[in-house]
Amino acid sequence: MRDSLRGHSLKDEKPMNKTSSETLLLSRDGAVVTLTLNRPAKRNSLDQELIGALTGAFESLGVDSETRVIVLRGAGSHFCSGLYLDYLQEISGYGMNENITDSNRFATMLKAIHHCQKPVIAKVQGYALAGGCGIATACDIIIADTSAKFGYTETRFGFVPAIVASFLMRRVGESVARDLLLTARVIDANEALALGLVNHVVAPDELDRKVNEFADMLSKNSASSLELTKDLIDIISAMPLEGALDYAVRVNALARQTDDFKSGLKGILKKLKS
């Protein structure tokens, strides 16, 4: 299928831009773009630079006509272990205004991932903790191998999982979110699957194949339909039923006017007549 995505190495990737210190790498195979958090010695922990790079990458790729699917992964054995210790020590000295600015920076990154116009697959192995778990949760689909560990560990050290909670509750509901956020416990991939946090779990040697399978499946779907469907899910999930149906009617009408729909319909009719 996508041979260059199977087990591709970091040497095939490049920094997002010339000013990057290579903490975020990009590789492209046709319509599928893979973004790699590239701080393996620090378990791909987050600092201001990486947060900014992720935000910019998703904002740019979201409007890139050549990109149909985005895969987000971590270099080495882990996905992302949250905020880097030195970064946490730095922000502990911030005042209220500085903390609001910094918190907004993190929230903007998660929104860029969640609202990206292209489907986003989180490819998770090893640790996905705290903010790293939040990043995975902001993606559309989470595919993990059995080495993966998920946890919102903030309350263990006096922090509050405030921003990531908004995304977690939308994904798994209040009951499961209360469990994970209050206990700060770390769960394995199979429990994460049972709780609805993760979509698919495979053996480590099957992770590449499974992610490639889904990336290929998504890349074959209509780009405009995927974008409209992502918006639809995001918006109606917070609406009462009547409002959701009214909005869905408008989206349905809009979709019928797209070139993708018209060409797809012609293809179906042609097959039926043959």
Q: The whole model's pTM is what?
A: 0.83
Mean pLDDT confidence for 27-55:
96
- The catalytic position among 154, 174, 191, 206 is 154
Domain layout of the chain by residue ranges: 3-219, 223-273
**Which of 104-108, 124-128, 157-161, 183-187 comes out lowest in average pLDDT?**
157-161
**Which of 93-97, 152-156, 166-170 comes out lowest in average pLDDT?**
93-97
pLDDT digits (tens, 9 = 90+) for 48-78: 999 999 999 999 999 999 999 999 999 999 9
Contact 80/127 with Cβ under 8 angstroms? yes
Largest CA distance in the chain: 71
Mean pLDDT confidence for 37-45:
96
The model's confidence at residue 246, banded by pLDDT at 50, 70 and 90, is confident
Q: What is the mean pLDDT of the chain?
A: 86
User: Tell me, what's the pLDDT at 6?
Assistant: 27
pLDDT digits (tens, 9 = 90+) for 135-144: 999 999 999 9
* Contacts for 161 with CB less than 8 Å, ≥ 6 apart: 130, 134, 152, 154, 155, 168, 181
Extended strands (E) in 57-167: 69-74, 120-124, 127-129, 141-145, 149-151
Taking 50 as the threshold, does the pLDDT of residue 1 lie above it?
no
- Is 227 noted as a catalytic residue in this protein? no
% residues pLDDT > 90 (the chain): 62
Architecture of the domain made up of 3-219: Alpha-Beta Complex (3.90)
Taking 80 as the threshold, does the pLDDT of residue 46 lie above it?
yes
pLDDT digits (tens, 9 = 90+) for 85-136: 777 777 778 788 887 888 889 999 999 999 999 999 999 999 999 999 999 9
